[in-house]
Amino acid sequence: METSRRTVLAAAAAAGITAVAAAPGTAYADPSAKGGRMPVKEPFGTLADGTRVHRWTLENGGTRMKVLSYGGIVQSLEIPDRYGRYANVSLGFERLEDYVASSPYFGALIGRYGNRIGGSRFTLDGREYALSVNDGPNSLHGGAAGFDKRVWDVEPFSGPAGTGLVLRYASADGEMGYPGRLDVTVTYTLDGKGDWRIDYAATTDRPTVVNLTSHTYFNLAGEGSGDVLGHELRMAASRYTPTDATLIPTGQLAKVAGTPFDFRHGKPIGRDIRAAHPQLVTAKGFDHNWVLDKGITRSPEYAATLRDPRSGRIMRMATTEPGLQFYSGNFLDGTLSGPSGRTYRQGDGLCLETQHFPDSPNQPHFPSTVLRPGETYRSVTVHSFNAG
């Protein structure tokens, strides 16, 4: 595409024309627009029912990313360290079969409902809905076959906003017990600075609930390089939602001050993770929703910073969402191994899932996750990468 533009410009210059106006909607990547190259598609395997899965490679502004049409999974995310050396900073697998067989949501899009709904039930407009039960008594991450296990339609783009993918999935009325047909569009964009932006949108034809997120496990030192306990995390949140024994919020918005949950000024993840705090004992580490001080915002605002002092890699997150689930990889038990061939043990990666609070459909004082016909659900999260 760039070649054809150069050819056009060269021909124009030869003809004495100094400026060529681009036709509206022209697909070529204008280098001055920082659009980057068009994503590249390759086969990634076939599911048992014969559906073909593809892998897309995106690159812009110094960030490289590989995304699967299966689950919208970010299979790898490569960013440079302070010396410009690249590493894949997301946990994942080499082969499709491993994602299908038993993935703890590595890199996946999560829907219809990120995190847990207590008792796998909720009532909306006086009607009770029973959801797919897949986590003790609860429904986790959309149920047994959530959006992480669906094949998405993928359309690449490259333009002024950057290079990226538009992923679409239509979830049928009643899927996993949720009412309404939900039409979902998720856009991954890598901009000219190498920032990774996720735009979520959804519409429904019946009143329903929705809470979408991304389940990338980060290890800024590189996947398979050991644990993230030395990473420093800062979260702009003065409160969090404590949980019961099955990780459902009790409904309380508890202050983080004076507890291991205080990340307001930044601290190493390992500093308090083994404190004898009952909430840490129950969850086997951090697996909680932080209530972001900024609340729900129209445009993405600062939420958190993750920094690996060894490599110097830094990730800053901004979101429109009111909550941030920080999960310290507590259930990784050494039975899975990544593309590096090294096994993943507890704490070898962490998730920072921007979201509405878990179990909101059953907690009337939490911000609402109800979506009605005629409305559009929207959520934006931006990950900015740096090294220093």
Interaction site with ligand GLA (CB under 6 A): 104-105, 115, 140, 247, 287, 325, 327, 331, 351
Does a cis peptide bond (omega within 30 degrees of 0) precede residue 112?
yes
Q: Is 279 helix (H, G, I), strand (E, B) or coil?
A: helix
Q: How far is the CB of 247 from ligand GLA (least distance, A)?
A: 6
58 vs 109, which CB is nearer to ligand GLA?
109
Tell me the one-letter amino acid at 104. P
The residue among 115 and 381 lying less far from ligand GLA, judged by its C-beta, is 115
User: CA torsion 48→51→55→56, rounded to 10°?
Assistant: -160
From the CB of 96, what's the least distance to ligand GLA, in Å? 19
C-alpha separations of 39 from 19, 63, 111, 218, 383 in Å: 28, 13, 25, 23, 19
Residue 65 tokens read as 């990313």
The continuous run of DSSP H or E covering 182 comes out as strand 182-190
* Residue nearest ligand GLA by beta-carbon distance: 327
Q: Count how many Cα atoms sit within 13 Å of the Cα of residue 241 in the half-sphere of its side chain.
A: 27
Nearer to ligand GLA, 142 or 164 (CB): 142
Are the C-beta atoms of residues 202 and 377 closer than 8 Å to each other? yes
63 in Cβ contact with 292 (< 8 Å):
no
Nearer Cβ to ligand GLA (86/331): 331
CB nearer to ligand GLA: give 165 or 352: 352
356 assigned to active site: no
Q: Alpha-carbon distance 372 to 204, whole Å?
A: 6
Task: Give min distance, CB of 74 to ligand GLA, in A.
Answer: 15
97 is catalytic: no
Say which of 141, 175, 215, 223 is annotated catalytic. 215
> What is the end-to-end Cα distance of the chain in Å, rounded?
35
Q: Considering the complex, state which of residue 70 and residue 357 has its C-beta at the smaller distance from ligand GLA.
A: 357
Amino acid at 98: D
**Whose Cβ is closer to ligand GLA: residue 200's or residue 327's?**
327
From the list 215, 217, 214, 234, the residue with the least C-alpha distance to 347 is 217
Pick from 185, 139, 191: which is nearest to 162 by CA?
191
Q: How far is the CB of 134 from ligand GLA (least distance, A)?
A: 10
Question: Which of 169, 149, 198, 118 lies closest to 48, judged by CA?
Answer: 149
Q: How far is the CB of 283 from ligand GLA (least distance, A)?
A: 7
Please report how close the Cβ of residue 325 comes to ligand GLA at its closest, in angstroms. Answer: 5
Q: How far is CA 83 from the centre of its chain?
A: 27
Q: How far is the CB of 17 from ligand GLA (least distance, A)?
A: 56
> Among 274, 272, 271, 267, which residue's Cα sits nearest to residue 234?
267
Q: Which of 141, 223, 353, 383 does the annotation list as catalytic?
A: 353
Catalytic amino acids? 215, 353
